[in-house]
């Protein structure tokens, strides 16, 4: 063993200065004050087309709504709802930074085990409307699943 490692080990085992961390006397501090949301608001209704590895092609509608009181600076908090005819409704939530959003969603029927996480990238479409592409992963749906969705704001 190198002498410095041996010294630290001996101090920890032998009750040296390193064996006793400082007492936890500090009191917790209040969280930093919240600032205004300065990011881009992606709220709206989007028409989507997807390709699911297990189910194939599908269409749906996504509704995103900014939760302003939980958004700060460039970070946005969102409610998320995907409605897919024939499969049901998938409520969830998203956390955005810049033009990227992590999204959690789950089918309202828990017996399907149809829930997952996605990562969406937003861009402006030709008409100035927002669009996004979302890759998603569902760890328990039919033994594991993934897909890709492209959505265009109305």
Which pLDDT tens digit goes with each residue over 18-58?
Answer: 444 445 555 555 454 567 999 999 999 999 999 999 999 99
- Say how far apart CA 97 and CA 46 lie, in whole Å: 19
Task: Choose among 74, 92, 75, 72: nearest CA to 83.
Answer: 92
Specify the pLDDT at position 106. 97
Residues 100/86, Cβ–Cβ less than 8 Å: no
Specify the pLDDT at position 18. 44
DSSP track, 72-132:
BBTEEEEEEEEEETTTEEEEEEEEEETTEEEEEEE-S-GGG--EEEEEEEEEE-TTS-EEE
This prediction has a pTM of 0.77
pLDDT of 151 higher than 80: yes
- Say how far apart CA 49 and CA 54 lie, in whole Å: 15
Average pLDDT score over residue span 2-18: 41
Which pLDDT tens digit goes with each residue over 60-93?
Answer: 999 999 999 999 999 999 999 999 999 999 999 9
Which pLDDT tens digit goes with each residue over 116-144?
Answer: 999 999 999 888 999 999 999 999 999 99
Four-point Cα dihedral 75, 78, 83, 89, nearest 10: 120
The per-residue pLDDT of the chain, averaged, comes to 85
Specify the pLDDT at position 59. 98
């Amino acid at each position: 063993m190198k002498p410095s490692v041996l010294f630290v080990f001996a101090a920890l085992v032998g009750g040296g200065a390193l064996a006793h961390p400082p007492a936890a006397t500090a009191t917790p501090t209040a969280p930093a004050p919240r600032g205004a949301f300065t990011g881009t608001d992606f709220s709206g209704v989007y028409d989507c087309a997807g390709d699911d590895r297990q189910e194939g092609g599908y269409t749906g509608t996504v509704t995103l709504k900014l939760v302003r009181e939980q958004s700060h600076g460039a970070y946005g908090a969102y409610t998320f709802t995907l409605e897919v005819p024939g499969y049901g409704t998938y409520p969830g939530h998203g956390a955005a930074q810049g033009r990227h959003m992590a999204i959690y969603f789950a089918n309202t029927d828990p017996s399907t085990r149809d829930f997952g996480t996605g990562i969406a990238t937003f861009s402006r479409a030709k008409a100035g409307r927002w669009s996004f592409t979302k890759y998603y992963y569902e760890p328990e749906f039919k033994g594991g699943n993934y897909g890709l969705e492209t959505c265009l704001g109305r």
